Amino acid sequence: MGTTIRGKAYVLGDDIDTDQIIPAEFLSYNPSDPEERKYFGMYAMAGLPKGQLGLPAGDVRFVPEGEFKSEYTFVIGGKNFGCGSSREHAPLAIAEAGAQVVIAEFYARIFYRNCVNGGYLLPCESVERLVEKVKTGDDLEVDIEAGTVTNHTQETTYQVKPLGDIKPIVDAGGVFAYAKANGMLSE
């Protein structure tokens, strides 16, 4: 992943849990089988309630019916994103759908670590509440080095907290790949 990432935003709200991100009924697919792994992308966000219960995305599907990929590069969440179970399938599903970054006010810790440890997504924390400022479909650009999110649709810029040492781990494909590449694990 480069230091700048540009694409469309998909905006949710607070307390988006792992059952909403990838419902338990789709956990029977094998993530290590490429033919089955793609189904995690197909069913990403399939557990969101119809009408989104007031969530900013409304009735816009994250992944169109019958497709495996989403048009959205960014998922914008509010507070407590990724709460619920510890399933690592949740960040995997978002990444398999094609998203690269989740930006939220704060995360359930296990979701955050699963993003990093699996090398699935960059979990950025916003400095201010973005779910009421960014709209689904807005054209965003995140500059990781500068710690900014530019909304090209609305011509606004916001700050995200520094990532610290996690970007190289995500870029390497996860904690084990990073450790291997840096001589921390033997073959």
- The enclosing domain of 150 has a CATH number of 3.20.19.10
**Is 74 a member of any domain?**
yes
Whether 94 contacts 44, CB under 8 Å:
yes
pLDDT attached to residue 57: 59
**Interval 54-67 mean pLDDT:** 78
148: part of which helix (H) or strand (E)? strand 148-151
- Angle 89-96/34-42 helices, nearest 10 degrees? 90
pLDDT attached to residue 157: 98
Whether 94 contacts 102, CB under 8 Å:
yes
Residue found by looking up tokens 């338990």 in the block: 24
3 state SS of 160: strand
Confidence band (pLDDT; 50, 70, 90) for 187?
low
pLDDT attached to residue 51: 58
**Is 70 a member of any domain?**
yes
Question: Given a cut of 60, is residue 163 above it in pLDDT?
Answer: yes
Q: Each residue of 25-39: pLDDT tens digit?
A: 999 999 999 999 999
Question: Given a cut of 60, is residue 155 above it in pLDDT?
Answer: yes
Question: Given a cut of 50, is residue 53 above it in pLDDT?
Answer: no
**Average pLDDT of the chain to the nearest whole number:** 92
**Is 186 a member of any domain?**
no
**Is 150 a member of any domain?**
yes
Domain residues for 169?
4-181
Question: Given a cut of 60, is residue 132 above it in pLDDT?
Answer: yes
Rounded to the nearest angstrom, the gap between the alpha carbon of residue 160 and the centroid of all alpha carbons in its chain is: 15
**Is 136 a member of any domain?**
yes
**Interval 92-116 mean pLDDT:** 97
Per DSSP (E only), the strands in 59-144 are 72-76, 101-104, 122-125, 139-143
pLDDT attached to residue 52: 55
Question: Given a cut of 80, is residue 100 above it in pLDDT?
Answer: yes
Residue 163 identity:
L
Number of structural domains in the chain: 1
**Is 187 a member of any domain?**
no
**Interval 136-141 mean pLDDT:** 96
